[in-house]
């Protein structure tokens, strides 16, 4: 740890024209160093070997017909044609769309509503405890979640018992075997997992809204609804983007739930892209189709992320390659704002949890 | 601006080089590793001496080794008998340690393909004998032909042609039922009709021997407010058994065999098949199956049967030990009722055979193990554990439910009543027919549509 | 200020949501403590856990999971801190492009990797090894960790770095003696998130290893479900065992989990 004298020296050094110029530019602080390459070497190497290379190899695989065992045949774009023409695979993407409603749209709406309701009370005792409990589903392993919900949905399971108990016998059904209800049933598990996350996210976002805004609005005679749409919602746009990104990706990537709960059935009603990738590559030996499917899925994840973060971006996103701008806006989330506060931040501030992270996010 | 462009240009160039390296075709350079050639070389390298001594290998001379065995015998009785046999094997050959890995049928299926193609493959696996599994593995050179071992151990004498042919393929996996032997079963297996004795007594009817009697029994049970047939179809495989059971009462043996083995000469669209399909739908509509069967787990279903829910249960002899244990004298077993063909045709044949992966490093020990768990002493162990041994069943003591099953098995053999599982037909037929049956029973496919769907894949397989 | 009724309504809503969130968890725990065989006496059956532990071989599965978690968390934390330090405090050619590429990597779903990765690793004989399970997860975690640590290093006080340097500390010493101790909160958050993802990961270990000794806990549990056919108590006990480590870590370090998620940690 530097001495006080050192800190003052740094303060003085910070005033030289060179540093000032550097601070204004968007580049990272510090002087040029070739050493940096050594520091990033392990990360970049493992990244290139286990993410970059396989991705390129997937692209290669996707042009071949291969059973994973013998030799392969070049088939051009036939695998991609299959992805878009095979009813089961097309169905899988449609199911993913339905899951987005359950994984993302409903939890985000519920989370917003719940958080906004709670924020009307200035201070609620015990809110911290509820936050911990409601967030819990997010950390439980998916396999455990799937086993629990498989029981809940059983023909004689708690859900049907509850329905029969309140006289709604007509609604009781074999949820996971029902052609209409199997997919929503799987989706509802996603809702259960995601709602707590969204709630906690929005709670954090709304806590930063200045109280005076609400007081002013109330003086203007605004009701809860107008308050929500004119103040609350615009203020948590960033959190909204994060929540949507996380939940939409989770919906598109659903695998464990389907693997454990339904194996894609009844019929193919709960077949989802990830499960089809696995099934084609490792069960029925259509590796090329699986690779094409995986790449299409990846592309969809990218596009969804960019679109969502365009929405969350408030128009002054940092420059850069257009494709990454949205993602950058999400991921950096203003951490990279010119560090005007940094030089004056007392070092003590850094000892409180996340001061560094939250510091950049205050508006 | 230009700096940024340059950076990107360099990045793109680097990516291009990587792409070139990555562009080699999949499988082109590792054919040898995965195909016969590679597998055999590695195996021979460390097992040359064994190979020479093929004729009369004594497992005690193989040195210290660990035999990795993947089985799917997870149910009460079966798991027990494997444990007992493994223990006896280890006692007989102290130099060999068995590492047992057991999985449900479904879970074994989903991981077996990955495991077989690995250099570090298990030494003995249970590979389902249909084209979906064993046929594919044989075609890809992943399984070892067992004929030389069969000579050594006298398997051709021990197992009749009818049993062996269920695990025989040509080298390329194209012909099923002929060629080399790739696996040996431990148990016989038939999908018959379990019935609750007290419930039949209450209804005042005898176990049905014909289709008409069976339908009358279903009606009587339904009228009496009993559940006629206990059934859970959440696990996709269950539907194959239920559908086959009904099909056997309408379609003749030759047709079912052609369809099941993927041999030319028949069709899914014949009137008998239509009639069978419509009948099972009539039963669904009449509420003869468990309410909500589509969402009912297979194991939950038979457990409900043991607790008195259901007059009949269509299931294989793999439940013999479990049902016997839970119900004792309250349960009986018969062959499916005789229908149009006048015969009590029954789906089944052999339990999933034990095979040796080409990538195994301990093939001789593996063969010795397979011999050990299928010899006549093993058959006695199988019977003792409450199951149906594939051969010598008539020499075993049995009573109650087990006696029923032995008798049905003997009759099926004597009268040539066995017809194959329908999913044997093509490399992808398991997925096709399980989903199609779920669709049919769920009212998502009309009977005609269902049959045309199956016919399309059958025609593609037999190329007619 | 809000009215008393509204306050009560708020609590009612919170209790409702908390109940829904907890119900499946509590159901599993209570099933785990119920008698396994019909007809067994009532009361709490803690023996189910021991029974499930041996029958389901959870000892071996949990050990593999622990080893995998330690390796993935340790390696990816080390690599991420180093890379984040370089990206956050040093200027070098190509830094932006490289960083964006790593960022894009966060978005790549494991599904897109496992197919090619499995077959390529198989051809070099690496499937069915710890490497095949650990390395892809390290790569994914490094993508996230580099982003996370870079944000920390960028916001860390520059005069501290420069002061350390004036005191004669080299860049390596500055990193480990000054910045890392100061960044404990941010690093802890990264560690717990990577731990959770690794412990819960299903697809990569499912595909990459087939030998019994390399099965992780979630896989073991999924197989136990198919294998254990006569009752639900032991299955629930197994599920409880598998969830326990990550839930315990969550309960003790929940602030870090929640903060990580709030900051938009994607995987």
Residue A93 lies in a domain: yes
The answer, yes or no, to whether residue A8 has pLDDT greater than 70, is no
Note the pLDDT of residue A320.
30
Q: Is residue A146 part of a domain?
A: yes
Residue C222 at interface with chain B, using a CB cutoff of 8 Å: yes
Nearest-CB residue to A267 (from B234, B291, B442)? B442
Q: What is the mean pLDDT of residues B325-346?
A: 93
The ipTM value here is 0.91
Taking the model in full, what pTM does it have? 0.81
Q: How many domains does chain C have?
A: 1
* Range in B16-30, B159-173, B181-195 the model is least confident about: B16-30
Q: Is residue A181 included in any domain, yes or no? A: yes
Measured CA to CA, the distance from residue C260 to residue C30 in angstroms comes to 31
For chain B, give the mean pLDDT. Answer: 87
Helix, strand, coil percentages (3-state) for chain B, rounded to 5, are: 55, 15, 30
Read off the pLDDT of residues A164-177 as tens digits, 9 standing for 90 and up: 999 888 888 889 98
Cα–Cα distance measured from residue B259 to residue B251, given in angstroms and rounded to the nearest whole number: 11
Q: Which residues of chain C have a CB within 8 Å of the CB of B119?
A: 122, 125, 128
| Residue A155 structural domain | 52-340
Check pLDDT > 60 for residue A233.
Answer: yes
Does the pLDDT of residue B413 top 50, yes or no?
yes
Higher pLDDT, B24 or B389: B389
Burial label for C95, CB within 10 Å (0-12, 13-18, 19+), is: buried
Mean pLDDT, rounded, for B56-85? 86
Q: B35: pLDDT confidence band, cut at 50, 70 and 90?
A: very low
For chain B, the structural domain boundaries read: 58-187+351-391, 189-350+402-462
Q: Say yes or no: C100 contacts chain B, CB-CB below 8 A.
A: no
Question: What pLDDT, on a 0 to 100 scale, did the predictor assign at position A30?
Answer: 59
Q: How far is C1 from chain B (nearest CA, A)?
A: 50
Given this chain, do its domains B58-187+351-391 and B189-350+402-462 carry the same CATH topology?
yes
In a domain, A319, yes or no: yes
Say how many CA atoms lie within 13 Å of C189 toward its Cβ.
Answer: 26
The answer to whether C206 faces chain B, any CB pair under 8 Å, is yes
Residue of chain C nearest B323, judged by CA positions? C230
Judge contact between B118 and B100, C-beta under 8 A: no
The β-bridge partners of B65 are B96
- Hey, which residues does B102 pair with through a beta bridge? B71
Is residue B39 over pLDDT 80?
Answer: no
Structural element, H or E, at residue B211: helix B211-223
- Domain of residue C133 covers 66-216+249-262
| Number of domains chain A contains | 1
For residue C136, the domain's CATH number is 1.10.3720.10
Two structure tokens written together for B424? 């044997």
Q: Does the pLDDT at position A343 exceed 80?
A: no
- What's the CA gap between A176 and B300, in Å, rounded? 14
What would the 3-class secondary structure string for chain C be?
CCCHHHHHHHHHHHHHHHHHHHHHHHHHHHHHCCCCCCCCCCCCCCHHHHHHHHHCCHHHHHHHHHHHHHHHHHHHHHHHHHHHHHHHHCECCCHHHHHHHHHHHHHCCHHHHHHHHHHHHHHCCCCCCHHHHHHHHHHHHHHHHHHHHHHHHHHCCHHHHHHHHHCCCCHHHHHHHHHHHHCHHHHHHHHHHHHHHHHHCCHHHHHHCCCHHHCCHHHHHHHHHHHCCCCCHHHHHHHHHHHHHHHHHHHHCHHHHHHHHHCCCCC
Q: Say whether domain B58-187+351-391 belongs to CATH 3.40.50.11540.
A: no
Pairwise CB contact (< 8 Å): A42 & C25? no
Q: Which of the residue ranges A24-28, A206-210, B368-372, C30-34 would you say has the lowest mean pLDDT?
A: A24-28
- Tens-digit pLDDT profile for residues A111-120: 999 998 888 7
The pLDDT assigned to B113 comes to: 85
Name the β-bridge partners of B176.
B169
Q: Which two tokens stand for residue C254?
A: 């929940």
User: Does the beta-carbon distance from B19 to A56 stay under 8 Å?
Assistant: yes
CA distance B66 to B44: 18
> What is the arithmetic mean of pLDDT over C16-42?
85
| Angle of helix B376-384 versus helix B363-374 axis, rounded to 10 | 60
Question: Given pLDDT bands bounded at 50, 70 and 90, which one contains residue B7?
Answer: low
CATH topology of domain B189-350+402-462: D-Maltodextrin-Binding Protein; domain 2 (3.40.190)
Q: Tell whether A21 is covered by a domain.
A: no
Q: Is residue A293 part of a domain?
A: yes
Residue B97 is inside which H or E element, if any?
strand B96-102
Q: Is A221 on the interface with C (CB under 8 A)?
A: no
Query: Angle at Cα A307 formed by Cα A305 and Cα A313, nearest 5°?
Result: 95
Within-domain flag for C94: yes
Residue A313 maps to which CATH number? 1.10.3720.10
What gap in Å lies between CA C147 and CA C178, rounded to an integer? 20
Q: Are A137 and A192 in contact (CB under 8 A)?
A: yes
My answer on whether omega of the bond before A310 falls inside 30° of 0, hence cis, is no
């Amino acid at each position: 740890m530097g001495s006080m004298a050192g800190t003052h020296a740094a303060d003085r050094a910070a005033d030289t024209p060179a540093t000032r110029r550097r601070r204004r530019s968007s580049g990272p602080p510090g002087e040029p160093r070739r050493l940096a390459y050594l520091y990033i070497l392990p990360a970049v190497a493992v990244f290139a070997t286990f993410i970059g290379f396989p991705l390129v190899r997937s692209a290669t695989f996707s042009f071949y017909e291969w059973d994973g065992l013998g030799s392969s045949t070049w088939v051009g774009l036939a695998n991609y044609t299959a992805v878009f023409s095979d009813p089961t695979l097309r169905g899988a993407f449609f199911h993913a769309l339905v899951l987005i409603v359950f994984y993302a749209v409903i939890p985000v709406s519920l989370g917003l509503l719940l958080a906004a309701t709670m924020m009307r009370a200035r201070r609620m005792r015990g809110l911290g405890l509820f936050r911990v409990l409601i967030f819990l589903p997010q950390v439980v392993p998916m396999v455990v979640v799937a086993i629990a919900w498989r029981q809940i949905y059983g023909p004689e399971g708690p859900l049907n018992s509850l329905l029969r108990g309140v006289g709604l016998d007509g609604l009781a059904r074999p949820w996971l075997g029902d052609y209409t209800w199997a997919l929503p049933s799987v989706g509802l598990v996603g809702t259960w997992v995601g709602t707590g996350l969204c709630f906690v996210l929005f709670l954090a976002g709304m806590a930063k809204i200045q109280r005076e805004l609400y007081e002013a609005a109330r003086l203007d005679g605004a009701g809860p609804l107008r308050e929500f749409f004119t103040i609350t919602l615009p203020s948590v746009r960033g959190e909204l983007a994060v929540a949507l990104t996380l939940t939409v990706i989770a919906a598109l990537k659903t695998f464990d739930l389907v693997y454990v709960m339904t194996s894609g059935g009844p019929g193919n009603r709960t077949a989802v892209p990830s499960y089809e990738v696995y099934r084609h590559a490792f069960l029925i030996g259509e590796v090329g189709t699986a690779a094409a499917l995986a790449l299409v899925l990846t592309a969809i994840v990218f596009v969804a992320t960019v679109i969502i973060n365009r929405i969350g971006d408030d128009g002054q996103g940092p420059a850069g390659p257009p494709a990454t701008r949205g993602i950058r806006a999400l991921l950096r989330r203003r951490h990279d704002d010119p560090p005007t506060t940094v030089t004056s931040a007392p070092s003590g501030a850094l000892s409180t949890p996340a001061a560094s992270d939250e510091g950049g996010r205050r508006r | 601006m230009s700096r940024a462009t340059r950076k990107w240009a360099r990045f793109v160039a680097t990516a291009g080089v990587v792409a070139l390296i990555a562009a080699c075709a999949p499988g082109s350079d590792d054919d040898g590793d995965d195909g016969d050639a590679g597998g055999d070389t590695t195996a021979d390298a460390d097992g040359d001496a064994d190979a020479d001594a093929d004729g009369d290998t004594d497992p005690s001379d193989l040195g210290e080794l660990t035999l990795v065995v993947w089985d799917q015998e997870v149910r009460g009785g079966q798991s027990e008998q494997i444990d007992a046999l493994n223990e006896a094997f280890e006692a007989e050959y102290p130099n060999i340690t068995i590492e047992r890995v057991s999985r449900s049928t479904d879970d074994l299926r989903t991981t077996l393909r990955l495991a077989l193609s690995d250099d570090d493959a298990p030494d003995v696996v249970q590979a389902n004998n249909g084209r979906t599994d064993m046929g594919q593995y044989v075609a890809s050179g992943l399984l070892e032909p067992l004929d030389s071992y069969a000579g050594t151990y006298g398997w051709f004498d021990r197992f009749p042609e009818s049993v062996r042919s269920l695990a025989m393929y040509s080298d390329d996996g194209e012909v099923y039922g002929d060629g080399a032997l790739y696996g040996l079963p431990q148990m016989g297996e038939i999908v018959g009709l379990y019935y609750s004795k007290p419930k039949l007594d209450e209804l005042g009817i005898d176990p049905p021997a014909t289709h008409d009697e069976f339908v009358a029994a279903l009606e009587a049970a339904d009228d009496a407010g009993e559940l006629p047939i206990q059934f859970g179809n959440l696990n996709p495989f269950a539907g194959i058994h239920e559908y086959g059971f009904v099909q056997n009462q309408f379609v003749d043996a030759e047709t079912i065999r052609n369809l099941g083995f993927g041999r030319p000469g028949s069709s899914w669209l014949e009137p008998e098949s239509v009639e069978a399909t419509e009948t099972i739908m009539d039963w669904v509509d009449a509420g003869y199956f468990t309410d909500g069967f589509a969402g009912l787990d297979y194991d939950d279903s038979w457990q409900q049967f043991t607790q008195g829910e259901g007059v009949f249960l269509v299931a294989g002899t793999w439940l013999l030990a479990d049902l016997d244990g839970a119900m004792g004298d309250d349960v009986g077993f018969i062959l499916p009722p005789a229908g149009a063909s006048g015969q009590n045709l029954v789906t089944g044949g052999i339990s999933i055979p034990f095979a040796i992966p080409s990538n195994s490093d301990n093939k001789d020990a593996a063969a010795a193990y397979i011999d050990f768990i299928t010899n006549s002493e093993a058959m006695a162990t199988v019977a003792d554990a409450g199951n149906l041994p594939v051969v010598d069943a008539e020499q075993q003591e049995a009573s109650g439910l087990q006696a029923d099953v032995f008798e049905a098995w003997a009759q099926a053999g004597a009268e040539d009543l066995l017809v194959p599982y329908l999913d044997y037909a093509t490399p992808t037929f398991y997925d096709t027919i399980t989903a199609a049956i779920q669709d049919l029973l769920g009212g998502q496919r009309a009977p005609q549509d269902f049959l045309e769907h199956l016919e399309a894949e059958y025609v593609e397989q037999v190329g007619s | 200020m809000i009215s008393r009724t509204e306050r009560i309504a708020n609590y009612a809503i919170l209790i409702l949501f908390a109940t829904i969130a907890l119900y499946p968890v509590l159901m599993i725990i209570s099933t785990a403590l119920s008698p396994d065989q019909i007809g067994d006496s009532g009361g709490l059956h803690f023996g189910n856990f021991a029974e499930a532990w041996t029958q389901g071989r959870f000892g071996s599965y949990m050990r593999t999971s622990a080893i995998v978690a330690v390796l993935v968390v340790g390696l990816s934390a080390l690599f991420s801190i180093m890379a984040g330090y370089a990206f956050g405090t040093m200027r070098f050619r190509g830094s932006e492009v490289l960083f964006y590429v790593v960022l894009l990597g966060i978005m790549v779903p494991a599904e897109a990797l496992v197919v090619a990765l499995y077959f390529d690793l198989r051809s070099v004989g690496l499937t069915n090894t710890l490497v095949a399970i650990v390395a892809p997860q390290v790569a994914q975690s490094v993508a996230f960790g580099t982003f996370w640590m870079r944000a920390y290093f960028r916001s860390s006080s520059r005069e501290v770095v420069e002061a350390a340097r004036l005191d004669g500390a080299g860049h390596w010493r500055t990193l480990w003696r000054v910045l890392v101790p100061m960044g404990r909160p941010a690093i802890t958050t990264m560690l717990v998130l990577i731990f959770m993802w690794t412990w819960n990961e299903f697809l990569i270990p499912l595909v990459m290893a087939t030998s019994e000794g390399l099965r992780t806990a979630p896989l073991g549990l999924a197989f136990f479900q198919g294998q254990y056919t006569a009752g639900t108590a032991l299955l629930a006990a197994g599920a409880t065992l598998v969830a326990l480590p990550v839930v315990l870590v969550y309960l003790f370090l929940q602030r870090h989990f929640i903060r990580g998620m709030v900051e938009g940690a994607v995987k």
